[in-house]
């Protein structure tokens, strides 16, 4: 059965990861991009996790898992190499109504961890609902390559600013939608790399053209 994609703000929410190896590292690296309060439970952690710890992006509890570790958590990820420990984490989380993901064990998951492409506010999640995770990873690479061609964090920031400007300056909702769609078609999805300054000028030019057309129609009607 297909899983419903559910996007949610993680800032200020306790996210517990039990495990400190390569698998845990990949999950933690992704979570760190979404400003959750990450707590890692493991006697040992990888160099990648140490870097995130030293930069203040997570808290590391240097010991084995205890049931009390998940108290107050929003989500728990079990990424240890011990099946029994993972089972205990799953049971504890379910008993306390906490979302839990046991890595590589879809039957022990109340939420799925998707393959993710992120560019600032643009987030694309890809999942096969646990049926074939490798396919999700392959698709993620293809999507990442496509997005990389023109959409980066600078572009996303400009789009965000431009949308606010259009909402502020244009009253007609259908016209707002038309302007925003035109920018995507003519400026973002092109065969040429985006030059930021040219991108800004092109967006503002599209907005001004719509304003001029609206003024011309208004004058004609009068």
* pLDDT surpasses 80 at 186: no
- Name the CATH code of domain 114-149 (choices 3.40.630, 1.20.1740, 3.30.160, 1.20.120): 3.30.160
pLDDT reported for residue 145: 80
Which CATH number applies to 14-113? 3.40.50.720
Sheet holding 99-102, edge to edge: 58-61, 37-41, 14-18, 75-78, 99-102
pLDDT reported for residue 155: 83
Spatial separation of the C-alpha atoms in residues 183 and 84, rounded to whole Å: 53
pLDDT reported for residue 148: 61
The answer to whether residues 46 and 22 touch, using CB atoms and an 8 Å cutoff, is yes
Average pLDDT over residues 162-181: 90
Spatial separation of the C-alpha atoms in residues 62 and 190, rounded to whole Å: 50
Using DSSP, state whether 205 is helix, strand or coil.
helix
pLDDT reported for residue 171: 86
Predicted confidence (pLDDT) per residue in 102-152, tens digit: 998 988 999 999 999 988 888 999 999 888 888 998 999 988 887 766 677
User: Pick the residue with more confidence: 172 or 73?
Assistant: 73
pLDDT reported for residue 212: 82
* pLDDT surpasses 80 at 219: no
User: Pick the residue with more confidence: 148 or 155?
Assistant: 155
Within 8 A by CB and 6+ apart from 18, the residues are 24, 40, 41, 42, 65, 69, 76, 77, 78, 79, 80, 85, 86, 89
Average pLDDT over residues 19-23: 95
Average pLDDT over residues 193-210: 85
Using DSSP, state whether 15 is helix, strand or coil.
strand
Domain positions in the chain are 14-113, 114-149, 153-221
DSSP 186: I
Mean pLDDT of the chain: 89
* pLDDT surpasses 90 at 213: no
The answer to whether residues 28 and 17 touch, using CB atoms and an 8 Å cutoff, is yes
Q: Is 45 exposed, middle or buried (0-12, 13-18, 19+ CB in 10 A)?
A: buried
pLDDT reported for residue 15: 98
Using DSSP, state whether 116 is helix, strand or coil.
strand
């Amino acid at each position: 059965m297909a899983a419903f994609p559910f996007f949610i703000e993680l800032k200020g929410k306790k996210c517990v990861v039990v495990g400190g190896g390569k698998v845990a590292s990949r999950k933690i690296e992704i979570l760190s991009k979404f400003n959750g309060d990450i707590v890692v439970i493991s006697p040992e952690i990888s160099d990648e996790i140490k870097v995130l710890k030293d930069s203040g992006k997570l808290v590391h509890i240097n010991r084995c898992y205890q049931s009390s570790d998940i108290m107050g958590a929003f989500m728990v990820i079990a990424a240890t190499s011990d099946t029994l420990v993972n089972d205990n984490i799953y049971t504890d989380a379910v008993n306390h109504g906490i979302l839990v993901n046991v890595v590589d064990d879809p039957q022990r998951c109340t939420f799925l961890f998707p393959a993710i492409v992120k560019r600032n506010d643009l987030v694309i999640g890809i999942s096969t609902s646990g049926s074939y995770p490798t396919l999700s990873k392959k698709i993620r690479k293809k999507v990442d390559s496509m997005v990389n061609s023109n959409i980066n964090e600078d572009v996303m920031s400009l789009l965000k600013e431009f949308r606010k400007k259009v909402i502020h300056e244009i009253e007609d909702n259908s016209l707002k939608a038309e302007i925003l769609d035109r920018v995507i078609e003519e400026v973002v999805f092109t065969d040429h790399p985006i030059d930021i300054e040219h991108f800004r000028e092109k967006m503002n030019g599209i907005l001004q053209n719509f304003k001029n057309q609206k003024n011309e129609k208004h004058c004609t009607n009068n």
